[in-house]
Amino acid sequence: MTRGSCLCDHLKVTPFSGDTVETASGEAMAESIQVLPEQASVLVVDDLAIIRLSLRHILTKAGYCCREAEDVSGALAVLDKESIDLVLCDIQMPGASGLDLVKALRHRIPDTSVVMVSSLEDAETAITCLQQGAFGYVLKPYQPREILIQVNGALRRRMLEIAFRDREAQLAQKVREQTVEIRNSREEIALRLISASEHRDNETGMHVRRIGLYAAEMARLLGWEQPGVETIQSAAPMHDIGKIGVPDAILQKPGGLTEHEWVIMRQHTAMGATILKGSTVPFIRMGATIAISHHEKWDGTGYPRGLQGEAIPMEARITALVDVYDALSNRRHYKEPWPEEQVVALIHKGRGAHFDPLLVELFLANLERFRIILMANPDEAHDVEPGI
């Protein structure tokens, strides 16, 4: 290592070569002080030209790409235009101080590291700078190796932080993708499960899909959190799963049912709950609740338990409403779709009798949203052909 002459009274500058160190301790240091492969860019901010010259000399010799500014506003102008990895900054300068620059960088360009270069009398402020996010500080007069150790350490930490953040972002993206995959697969499981019963009934595959979408929309309107919205979207389509246990002779009987047949038909609620109960999966658990309660009525005249008002679980009240809306709005082999004004009139009439009055208000006030779901998910042609 060659020694150079002092640049001024308060500086002891030792021109330093990062790859040429003679002493044993210097060799160890040379290993730790390596020029980063990407030739990091360093901005030197100091009002004294001689210090900028000294620091630029140290940094460029070690392989860094160097820029200079004589005050904070000049530094910010450089930072606005160029990508700077690290700022090496004086504390006391005319105008804004180095501390001001540290604070500004923390908000504007948090990826840029800062190392302070301060006099002994600025030591307290230097500590404040560290608390505000600066990586380290070097006291004047400094040795070039001190500068390089701090610069290298700050850049390495910055690289680690960026790599860590990128990794976090990647993981978050992966979690998002897997969440979508899980939601899709659970929806598919639910739809396949109910397809076993729907073919024996008059319902269609798109009917049950729409029920999930309407129910999710209602949940959103009610201010439910996203997980709850997704749960009801998967759970509501299973409302009639219990029909799998109703004999064909009743399920597909043309014309009206006898009182005895109605008793059996009504059992599809309890059968659905039996099929779905005891699960640890939230949407299947909610499916059980909806299955048992989706024929309850607000005024207590529904079945199987004659529950009244808020004693009927909200998810079942939602499903009851949207199930009727969809059944009336679509063609079935035994009926044409009702005009929307008739559907609305019937739902309005059911306010406080069949349906939760608040849900009816919410539904009708946002009818457009449900109409969009209805239009965007039409029945397949073969679903509604007579006799199917």
The size of the interface with Fe ion (CB under 5 A), counted in residues, is 2
The smaller minimum CB distance to Fe ion, of residues 71 and 323, is found at 323
Decide whether 150 or 293 has the Cβ nearer to Fe ion.
293
> Per-residue string for binding with Fe ion, 91-120, x by CB under 5 A?
------------------------------
The amino acid present at 100, given as its one-letter code, is D
- Sketch the per residue contact string, 266 through 305, with Fe ion: x for CB under 5 A, - otherwise: ----------------------------------------
Pick out residues in 298-357 that bind Fe ion (CB under 5 A): 323
**Contacts for 324-327 with beta carbons within 8 Å, 24 or more apart?**
324/350, 324/354, 324/355, 325/214, 325/363, 325/370, 326/207, 326/210, 326/211, 326/214, 326/374, 327/207
Shortest gap between Cβ of 380 and Fe ion (angstroms)? 17
Residue 3 · residue 143 · CB < 8 Å:
no
CB closer to Fe ion out of 217 and 323 = 323
What DSSP line would sit under 62-130, residue for residue?
Answer: TT-EEEEESSHHHHHHHHHHS--SEEEEES--SSS-HHHHHHHHHHH-TTSEEEEEE-GGGHHHHHHHH
Considering the complex, what minimum distance in angstroms separates the CB of residue 207 from Fe ion? 6
Q: Which is nearer to Fe ion, 40 or 328 (CB)?
A: 328
Token readout for 380 is 């397949």
| In the complex, least distance from residue 245 CB atom to Fe ion, rounded to whole angstroms | 12
| H helix intervals, the chain | 24-32, 49-61, 72-81, 98-108, 123-131, 144-198, 205-221, 226-235, 248-251, 259-266, 268-276, 282-293, 314-329, 340-349, 357-365, 367-376
CA distance 102 to 113: 9
Q: Which is nearer to Fe ion, 46 or 296 (CB)?
A: 296
- Closest distance to Fe ion from the beta carbon of 242 (Å): 8
Query: Mask of contacts with Fe ion, 214-243, x by CB under 5 A?
Result: --------------------------x---
When the beta carbons of 134 and 343 are compared against Fe ion, the nearer one is 343
User: Least separation, in Å, of the C-beta of 268 and Fe ion?
Assistant: 6
Cβ 323 to Fe ion shortest distance, Å: 4
Q: Single out the residue of 283, 299, 301, 281 nearest to residue 291, CA to CA.
A: 283
CA–CA separation, 77 and 72 (whole Å): 9
Tell me whether residue 136 or residue 272 sits nearer to Fe ion (CB atom).
Answer: 272
Measured from the CB atom, the residue of 46 and 323 that comes closer to Fe ion is 323
In whole angstroms, the minimum distance from the beta carbon of 326 to Fe ion comes to 7
Q: Whose CA is closest to 59, among 121, 127, 145?
A: 145
Rounded to the nearest whole angstrom, what is the least distance from the CB of residue 241 to Fe ion in the complex? 9
DSSP state of 212: H
Our finding on whether 90 is near Fe ion (CB under 5 A) is no
Which spans of this chain sit near Fe ion (rule: CB under 5 A)?
Answer: 240, 323
